[in-house]
Structure 1
Amino acid sequence: MTLARSLVLFALAALAEIGGAWLVWQGVREHRGLLWIAGGVVALGVYGFVATLQPDAHFGRILAAYGGVFVAGSLAWGMIVDRFQPDRWDYAGAAICLIGVAVIMYAPRG
Structure 2
Amino acid sequence: MIHTAIVYVLAALAEIAGCFAFWAWLRMGKPVWWLVPGCTSLVLFAYLLTLVDTSQAGRAYAAYGGIYITSALVWLWLAEGVRPDRWDMLGAVLCLLGAAVILLAPHRA
Q: Same fold (TM over 0.5)?
A: yes
Mind listing any 5+ residue stretches in structure 1 that lack a counterpart? none
Moved over 4 A (4+): none
Paired position in structure 2 for 1:75: 73
What amino acid is aligned across from residue 68 of structure 2 in structure 1?
A: F
Aligned to 1:86: 84
Aligned partners of 1:9 and 1:54 also within 8 Å? yes
TM-score by length of 1: 0.92
2:58 partner letter? G
One-letter amino acid of the counterpart of residue 19, structure 1:
A
Q: Could you tell me which residue of structure 1 aligns to residue 37 of structure 2?
A: 39
> Distance between the aligned counterparts of 1:100 and 1:35, measured in 2?
37
The answer to whether residue 65 in structure 2 is matched with residue 60 in structure 1 is no
Letter in 2 for 1:83: G
Q: TM-score, length-normalised on structure 2? A: 0.93
Which residues of structure 2 form unaligned runs of 5+?
A: none
Q: Contact 1:9–1:51 (CA<8 Å) still a contact in 2?
A: yes
> In the alignment, is residue 26 of structure 1 matched against residue 39 of structure 2?
no
Could you tell me how far apart the structure 2 residues matched to 1:103 and 1:96 are? Answer: 11
CA distance in 2, matches of 1:57, 1:18: 25
Deviation, structure 1 residue 109: 4.1
Structure 2 counterpart of 1:100: 98
Deviation at 1:37, TM superposition (A): 1.7
User: What CA distance in whole angstroms lies between the structure 2 residues aligned with 1:53 and 1:67?
Assistant: 16
- Cα offset for 1:101? 0.8
Percent identity, aligned pairs only, is: 36
